[in-house]
Amino acid sequence: MAETQDKQDKPDFARGIPSGDLPEGAMVEGTLGEDKVLLLRRDGVVTAIGARCTHLGAPLAKGIVAEGEIRCPWHHARFSLETGEAVGAPAFDPLPCYRADERDGRITVTGRREAAAKSPGKGVKAPGKVVIVGGGAGGHACAEWLARAGHGAAVTLVSDDPDPPYDRTFCSKQYLSGKAPRGKTRLAAEGFYGGDGPRYLSDRVVSIDLGAEEIVTAGGERLAYDALVLATGAAPLRPDVPGFERPNVHTLRSLADADALIAAAGTARSVAVVGASFIGLEVAAAMIAREKAVTVVAPETIPLKTILGEAVGRFVQGLHAEKGVAFRLGRKVTGFDGTALSLDDGSRIEADLVVLGTGVAPRIDLAEAAGLARAGKDEGGGIAVDGHLATSAPGIYAIGDVAAYPDPRSGRRLRVEHWVHAQRQGQHVARVILGETAPFTETPFFWSGHYGTSLRYVGHAGSAEDVRVEGDVAKGDFAVTYREEGRDAALATCKRDRQSLEVEAAWDREAAAG
């Protein structure tokens, strides 16, 4: 009924709208038959494209247009207005394009137009043999872009994950909470890996032979490469605490981890989450959705204080407390006997199931054994790469959680553990392999959902000590700017999606200008 009402409230573009209803810079959502269509006017030109983001269906009318692209308000995917192509992750599928006709003071949409996405590989060099190690965000995004450019057959993606590429964000959110089935986690359609597309090899890479320009797998296969992309990701940290080796103590990184946690939650009554990280809190929310008694234990006194600051941290804690999550903050776990956690103040917390949200470490063993340059501890560790995400060895790139890259805005090397950022690094390396010469200048971005309340974070700040607050944090309507060395470094928002997009676009332009 709501969908029908929504459709009735939208103009029928087959009948048309007065030209005055679409002034310069405006966007209007309407319908064409069963399709949701967005009309835009930019520089006097009227464009008609699909109105919903192909990632998770966000209304693009609430986004912004920048540099000839429309940006999604929820997860900041970007689409070309000219072709509909998804030019920036997390969306991969293009928007449909339509014919718009303006005459006699009226605008009508007359049907779909053929606007196949321009091949991003046309007119540039062939990639040779490309081997991608790791099937997470960056690895799949790199393979998908190369395939979109017509070079899928040149790509082999090797992953030690038992599942083909999937959306890891679903592991702690939609899938874990029971809101989405397992099949919805897949990043590519059935058959994408195979045939004329990229080859998918389920195996573990054990070494890189720099001299022969080959990688060696545990199964004994040797794969030659002209370009090698290391997208090995990160592994959960398991603190050295007595009892944390027990079978009812879980970490959450992979889809298989989520499977195991869902199975364990089926018989558990009480769940203890160790660590008030984003992952830890998302697990807590998922377990609340499964009607478990949940307690979060963490050494910090306010969740996420070092990242988001005291006010936003308290706001997030309040969202969880309202849903029934208990917090034991300022406490450390000293042991787990299988039925209860022991804390450093002598108290105990009953728990049938324990989930560790205690951070991750980049998986750099392969790169380290090959002698690739590493970033320093003060740079976040990981593999040192240049502005094109190239490592110290010719033809080898690193992306995602393992890559420590030079950030053009701060002038410092960063290692960023964000899903979308890894995807965009994968897309950038694909373009570099195809001959693009521009450096990587994307602004880091992540989102985090808590019971229907979503936070957006753009940029990167090393601390949350110097902040400027707009709005009312306690009421969940705010924009908090984090400053470093006298400049705006990051922005966290709630219910201010447009502001988040506009700041991100401005910082993208600043970084690209050098």
Domain boundary among the residues 433, 464, 479 is at: 433
| 40 domain-assigned | yes
| 476 domain-assigned | yes
Strands 396-398 and 97-103 come out as unpaired
Whole-number pLDDT of residue 3: 40
Residues 353 and 365 in one domain: no
Q: b/e map of 33-59 (b: 16 or more CB within 10 Å)?
A: eebbbbbbbeeeeebbbbbbbbbeebb
For the four alpha carbons of 398, 403, 408 and 413, in that order, the dihedral sign comes to negative
Alpha-carbon distance of 465 to 482, in angstroms, equals 8
Could you give the C-alpha distances from 412 to 373, 380, 386, 424, 503, in angstroms and in order?
Answer: 16, 11, 12, 19, 20
Decide: helix, strand or coil at residue 115.
coil
* Nearest by Cα to 258 from 178, 187, 151: 178
Helix (H) or strand (E) holding 511: helix 497-513
Alpha-carbon distance of 96 to 35, in angstroms, equals 9
CA 182 to chain centre: 18
Residue 384 burial (10 A CB sphere; 0-12, 13-18, 19+): buried
Residues 178 and 267 in one domain: no
Residues 351 and 260 in one domain: yes
Residue 219 burial (10 A CB sphere; 0-12, 13-18, 19+): exposed
CATH of the domain at 460: 3.30.390.30
Alpha-carbon distance of 80 to 234, in angstroms, equals 32
Token pair belonging to 475 = 């009421």
SS3 per residue for 194-213: CCCCCEEEECCEEEEECCCC
| 445 domain-assigned | no
pTM over 0.85: yes
Domain boundary among the residues 433, 464, 481 is at: 433
* Nearest by Cα to 278 from 421, 443, 456, 138: 456
Residues 484 and 458 in one domain: yes
Whole-number pLDDT of residue 8: 59
Residues 38 and 77 in one domain: yes
Alpha-carbon distance of 116 to 124, in angstroms, equals 19
Range of the domain at 310: 238-358
Residues 464 and 422 in one domain: no
Whole-number pLDDT of residue 119: 52
Helix (H) or strand (E) holding 141: helix 137-148
| 442 domain-assigned | no
Residues 243 and 342 in one domain: yes
Residues 63 and 31 in one domain: yes
Residuewise pLDDT in 10s, the chain (514 residues): 334 334 458 999 999 999 999 999 999 999 999 999 999 999 999 999 999 999 999 999 999 999 999 999 999 999 999 999 999 999 999 999 999 999 999 999 999 998 654 555 454 678 999 999 999 999 999 999 999 999 999 999 999 999 999 999 999 999 999 999 999 999 999 889 988 889 999 999 999 999 999 999 999 999 999 999 999 999 999 999 999 999 999 999 999 999 999 999 999 999 999 999 999 999 999 999 999 999 999 999 999 999 999 999 999 999 999 999 999 999 999 999 999 999 999 999 999 999 999 999 999 999 999 999 999 998 889 999 999 999 999 999 999 999 999 999 999 999 999 999 999 999 999 999 999 999 999 999 999 999 989 999 999 999 999 999 999 999 999 999 999 999 999 999 999 999 999 999 999 999 998 7
Residue with tokens 């060395």: 485
Whole-number pLDDT of residue 1: 35
| 447 domain-assigned | no
**Number of domains forming the structure of the chain:** 4
CATH of the domain at 290: 3.50.50.60
| 443 domain-assigned | no
DSSP 136: S
CATH of the domain at 105: 2.102.10.10
Crossing angle of helices 137-148 and 419-433, rounded to 10°: 40
Residues 257 and 298 in one domain: yes
Residues 348 and 316 in one domain: yes
Domain boundary among the residues 112, 146, 166 is at: 112
| 492 domain-assigned | yes
Strands 78-80 and 69-71 come out as antiparallel
Residues 482 and 390 in one domain: no
Alpha-carbon distance of 213 to 207, in angstroms, equals 11
Residues 350 and 366 in one domain: no
| 185 domain-assigned | yes
